[in-house]
Amino acid sequence: MATDALARTRARLDAYFGVSSHGSTMRREVMAGMVTFLAMSYVLAVNPSVLGDQGDLGDKGIPMQAVFTATAVAAIFGTLVMGLWARYPIALAPGMGLNAFFAFTVVKQMGIPWQTALSGTLLSGIIFLVLAVTRIRERILNAIPLQMKLAVGAGIGIFVAFLGLKNAGIIVASKDTFVTHGDFTKGATLLALFGLLVTVVFLVRGWHGAVLYGVVLTAVVGMVFGLVELPEGVFAMPHGLDQTFGQAVINLPHAFTGQMFVVVLTMLFVDFFDASGTLIGVANQAGLLAKDGTLPRASKALAADSIGTMAGAVIGTSTTTAYVESTAGVSAGGRTGLTAVATAWWFAVAMFCFPLFSVIAGAKSVTAPALIVVGVLMARALGEIDWGKLEYSVPAFITVVVTPLTFSIAYGLAMGMVFYPVVMVARGRFREVHPTMWILMVVFLGYFFFLAE
C-alpha dihedral sign at 283, 288, 292, 297: negative
1 in any annotated domain: no
What's the mean pLDDT in 161-174? 93
Query: Is the pLDDT assigned to residue 451 strictly greater than 70?
Result: no
What does 106-164 look like in DSSP terms, one character per residue? IIIIS---HHHHHHHHHHHHHHHHHHHTSTHHHHHHHHS-HHHHHHHHHHHHHHHHHHH
- Say how far apart CA 192 and CA 215 lie, in whole Å: 10
Structural domains counted in the chain? 1
13 in any annotated domain: no
- For position 141, what pLDDT does the model report? 64
What does 307-365 look like in DSSP terms, one character per residue? HHHHHHHHHT-S-EEE-TTHHHHHHTT--SHHHHHHHHHHHHHHTT-HHHHHHHHT-HH
8 Å CB contact between 160 and 97: yes
19 in any annotated domain: no
pLDDT band at 384 (very low <50, low <70, confident <90, very high): confident
- Say how far apart CA 175 and CA 276 lie, in whole Å: 42
- For position 437, what pLDDT does the model report? 87
15 in any annotated domain: no
358 Cβ contact partners less than 8 Å away, ≥ 6 residues apart: 48, 64, 65, 68, 231
Residue 398 region by backbone torsions, left for phi larger than 0, else alpha for psi between -120 and 50, else beta: alpha
DSSP-derived letter for residue 181 is E
8 Å CB contact between 368 and 165: yes
C-alpha dihedral sign at 408, 413, 418, 423: positive
DSSP-derived letter for residue 176 is T
Q: What is the pTM of this model?
A: 0.86
With CA atoms as reference, report the closest residue to 241 among 63, 373, 394, 409.
63
- Say how far apart CA 255 and CA 128 lie, in whole Å: 16
What's the mean pLDDT in 325-334? 88
- Say how far apart CA 356 and CA 340 lie, in whole Å: 24
With CA atoms as reference, report the closest residue to 43 among 443, 347, 438.
347
Looking at every residue in the chain, the average pLDDT score rounds to 90
Go through 13-26 and write b for each residue having 16 or more CB atoms within 10 A of its CB, e for each that does not.
ebeebebeebebeb
What's the mean pLDDT in 188-211? 93
Lowest mean pLDDT among 225-239, 288-302, 371-385: 288-302
10 in any annotated domain: no
What's the mean pLDDT in 46-60? 92
pLDDT band at 448 (very low <50, low <70, confident <90, very high): confident
64 in any annotated domain: yes
Query: Is the pLDDT assigned to residue 453 strictly greater than 60?
Result: no
CB atoms within 10 A of CB 426: 12
- For position 301, what pLDDT does the model report? 92
8 Å CB contact between 268 and 130: no
298 in any annotated domain: yes
- For position 255, what pLDDT does the model report? 94
8 Å CB contact between 381 and 157: yes
Q: Which domain holds residue 105?
A: 27-451
pLDDT band at 452 (very low <50, low <70, confident <90, very high): low
C-alpha dihedral sign at 404, 405, 411, 416: negative
C-alpha dihedral sign at 266, 440, 380, 331: positive
- For position 271, what pLDDT does the model report? 87
User: Which of residues 137 and 186 earns the better pLDDT score?
Assistant: 186
Q: At what angle do helices 114-132 and 136-143 cross, to 10 degrees?
A: 100
323 in any annotated domain: yes
